[in-house]
Amino acid sequence: MTNSTAPVRFLPAAGRPATAWRNGGGVTREVAGDPAGSGPDDFRWRVSLADVASAGPFSAFPGVDRVITVVEGPGMALTVDGTEHLVDAPFRPFAFSGDAATDCRLLGGPLVDFNVMTRRGRATADLVLAEHPGPVDVPVGATVLLVCLSGTATLDGAPLARYDAALLTAPAAHALRPEGVTAVVTFRDAPPI
């Protein structure tokens, strides 16, 4: 059952500002973050799409867990603390620590990647890539972010174009109908240590 009266905040891709990386190797467009308006050093969680134009080192994010997913382009090889990992297939998430020394080698040209970052000890993220219609349940105490990564989608009948997003902040069931791939990211408070 769909509860379309629950709070949904639509976040269109159009007009999202591009911000240069700390190391100058590309630009990123923040989709959403918590708390709202937080910067790279004080977010609890952050989701962005990045244009990677050239090879080089990734910026360090101490205390942050990262998941990166190629959504456009031929992919990359990431060397994380001296070990190379091929991130060369679209829509295959790769998790690594923001503490790690990470270097990127492009495998054939520029690419776009989808980034999910959580501050360790403050938040966790569960990433599912949805390709089939189904319910999206927002658990009590959680926030769910949907991002249409390819094709189009509808959420409770409302359209999402490529890279559009929707932020769900109240417990409810919603109907997602992707015509492509839509990221469903569920954020929760990190368990006490």
User: Same domain, yes or no, for 130 and 154?
Assistant: yes
Asked if residue 33 is part of any domain, the answer here is yes
Regarding whether 143 and 94 lie in a shared domain, the answer is no
Determine the pLDDT at residue 40.
82
Rounded Cα distance between 7 and 169, Å, is: 6
Strand partners, 28: 19, 50
Q: Is 3 a domain residue?
A: no
Compute the distance between CA of residue 107 and CA of residue 104 in angstroms, rounded to an integer.
9
Considering the domain architecture, whether residues 112 and 88 belong to the same structural domain is answered as yes
Determine the pLDDT at residue 2: 44
Strand locations in 35-101 (E): 45-52, 56-57, 64-72, 76-80, 83-87, 94-97
Tokens of 54: 């050239």
Residues 25 and 95 placed together within one structural domain of the fold: yes
pLDDT at 4: 46
Whole domain around residue 79: which residue ranges?
Answer: 19-119
Q: What tens digit of pLDDT does each residue of 133-155 get?
A: 999 999 999 999 999 999 999 99
| Percent of the chain topping pLDDT 90 | 82
1 belongs to a structural domain: no
d(C-alpha 135, C-alpha 45), whole Å: 24
**Which token pair is 8?**
């949904």
Q: Which helix (H) or strand (E) holds 188?
A: strand 172-189
Report the CATH number that the domain containing residue 147 is assigned in CATH: 2.60.120.1030
Name, in order, each residue with C-beta under 8 angstroms of 61's C-beta and a sequence gap of 6 or more.
40, 98, 99, 117
For residue 117, what are its two tokens?
């970052």
pLDDT band per the 50, 70, 90 thresholds, residue 191: confident
Quote the pTM value.
0.93
Mean pLDDT of 169-173: 94
Mean pLDDT for the chain overall: 93
Q: Residue 6: what pLDDT?
A: 59
Q: What is the tens place of the pLDDT at every residue in 12-68?
A: 999 899 988 766 778 899 999 999 888 888 999 999 999 998 888 988 899 999 999
Residue given tokens 């360090």 in the structure block: 60
Are 155 and 174 in contact by the 8 Å Cβ rule? The answer is: yes
In a domain, 2, yes or no: no
Which of the listed residues 102, 119, 136 is the one where a domain comes to its end?
Answer: 119
Spatial distance between the Cα atoms of 73 and 57, rounded to a whole number of angstroms: 19
Query: Residue 109 belongs to a domain with what CATH number?
Result: 2.60.120.10
Tell me which of 85, 103, 119 is where a domain ends. Answer: 119
Please indicate, yes or no, whether residues 137 and 104 belong to a single structural domain of this protein. no
29 and 113 belong to one structural domain? yes
pLDDT score for 1: 37
Tally the domains of the chain: 2
pLDDT at 37: 86
